[in-house]
Homo-oligomer: A and B are copies of this chain.
Amino acid sequence: MLFFTQCFGAVLDLIHLRFQHYKAKRVFSAAGQLVCVVNPTHSLKYAPTRCAAAQTSTEQGALPPCHHHDAVHDPQLVPCTCPLFSCPWEGHLEVVVSHLRQTHRINILQGAEIVFLATDMHLPAPTDWIIMHSCLGHQFLLVLRKQEKYEGHPQFFATMMLIGTPTQADNFTYRLELNRNQRRLKWEATPRSVLECVDSVISDGDCLVLNTSLAQLFSDNGSLAIGIAITTSKVHNAEAEM
């Protein structure tokens, strides 16, 4: 009996996923872009003191700012950058991606332009939607967070961070784009490094910020599609000059 219940659950999940993909393809069929359906994760940690030192000394070789171990450690080691968990892991920057994939099961996508389809936008805050994005020889972490900065008024915050140093991050520009019902909202900025905490980027408000009403205007049946593009900063500067 338990076996049949589980089978039925699995079939329902498959139907749900198929429906989500269909929805995503319908929204972005013309663009021919890779669509990634991202399910929400209820965040297990919101420790405000975790990244107290995030604003200082974030250059290559400096002490990792989000450090949360008291023992003396190798300065080249980076703590886990996953914004979902207070994870005790630390390792070299080069192995952060494999840690995020294996331990936190965060998907990684290839391609210069992808569509991030966040489902179940109605879920209560705090909730995160996370993927990694591999592009131009680097990996980026895209975080969409629903959070109540002011009690009773949830907002959506979206940002992109380079899994690399701040110096490397300065070479890129990321663009987040919402497009629906003859409305378009674009945010372009230089990605931050994962050595700076995502929590501090969001608390500074230096990212794409959406009120609930705007998020609803851009959502389709509870899902929000965000077009993502990454370019090198030289291209961005040339555009600005034009």
A residues at B contact (CB < 8 Å) = 30, 150, 152-153, 155, 173, 179, 182-190, 204-206, 209-211, 213-214, 217, 233, 236, 240-241
Residues in B whose Cβ lies below 8 Å from that of A150: 150, 152-153
Given contacts A150-B150, A182-B190, 11 further A-B contacts (CB under 8 A): A182-B189, A182-B233, A184-B186, A184-B189, A185-B185, A185-B187, A204-B213, A205-B213, A205-B214, A209-B211, A209-B214
CB distance from A193 to the nearest CB of B (A): 15
Residues in B whose Cβ lies below 8 Å from that of A211: 155, 205, 209
Residues in B whose Cβ lies below 8 Å from that of A210: 209
Residues in B whose Cβ lies below 8 Å from that of A185: 185-188
In the assembly, what is the distance between CA of A187 and CA of B187, in Å?
A: 9
CB distance from A221 to the nearest CB of B (A): 19
Residues in B whose Cβ lies below 8 Å from that of A214: 205-206, 209
Residues in B whose Cβ lies below 8 Å from that of A240: 179
In the assembly, what is the distance between CA of A123 and CA of B233, in Å?
A: 35
Indicate if the CB atoms of A205 and B186 lie closer than 8 Å. Answer: no
CB distance from A147 to the nearest CB of B (A): 12
Contact of A153 among B153, B179, B189, B241 (CB under 8 A): B153
Residues in B whose Cβ lies below 8 Å from that of A189: 182-184
In the assembly, what is the distance between CA of A150 and CA of B155, in Å?
A: 13
22 contacts between A and B (CB under 8 A): A30-B241, A150-B153, A153-B153, A173-B182, A179-B240, A182-B189, A182-B190, A182-B233, A182-B236, A183-B187, A183-B189, A183-B206, A184-B186, A184-B188, A184-B189, A185-B185, A186-B186, A204-B213, A205-B214, A205-B217, A206-B217, A209-B214
